[in-house]
Amino acid sequence: MSFVERTCSCCGGENPEKTRIDAILAKYEGVKGALIPILQEVQSLYNYLPKDALEYVAAQTGTPIAQIYGVVTFYSQFHLNPRGRNIIRVCQGTACHVRGGKTILQALEKELDIKAGHTTDDLRFTLETVACIGACGLAPVMQVNEDTHGRLTPDKLKAILAKYQ
Ligand code: FES
């Protein structure tokens, strides 16, 4: 069933996701160069860009779907796969690397049973690497959502992760 045909699971009315995307599209109607802000707002609804939402945006804006995929694959801010509720960014920059950043990454991969760049099946965590988050004095460092955790050791990770559900 297509995105547009789906109905609300509680009232049987119009798909509420479609209503929200319609509101975003209405906000940018007639605005030149609005594709990126539209995609940013659609992504903020889902935490990623579902295929059928992209197809809907393409149809409603008259933008070729290939052009939309060109944009979302070019910019690293866009994600085509579901992401976790909590985003872990483990620093692999020079300062963190020399202080054991790689060991922290490996410990997280083991703890979460996923590789960097992936999301746990329960959508609780997405594990990513970054080059430097500007907290080199606290190396090795990771961010979970907006929180920075520094001077990490593998044995601290379990307790930190437990704070994020
Ligand atoms: S290198 Fe890790 S915070 Fe700068």
Rounded to an integer, the average pLDDT of 76-97 is: 94
Phi-psi region of 55 (alpha: psi -120 to 50; beta: other; left: phi over 0): alpha
- pLDDT averaged over every residue in the chain: 92
Shared domain for 39 and 98, answered yes or no, is: no
Does residue 50 have a pLDDT over 70? yes
State how many domains the chain has: 2
Shared domain for 23 and 59, answered yes or no, is: yes
Rounded to an integer, the average pLDDT of 47-58 is: 94
Domain residue limits at 37: 16-74
Shared domain for 41 and 96, answered yes or no, is: no
* CATH number, residue 110: 3.40.30.10
Angle (CA) 41 55 33, round 5°: 50
Our mutation pick for probing the ligand 1 site, out of 105, 132, 149, counting the most ligand atoms within 8 A of Cβ, is 132
Q: How confident is the model at residue 1 (pLDDT cuts 50, 70, 90)?
A: low
Angle (CA) 134 151 101, round 5°: 70
Beta strands 142-144; 147-149: pairing state: antiparallel
Distance 152 CA to ligand 1 centre (A): 12
Shared domain for 155 and 100, answered yes or no, is: yes
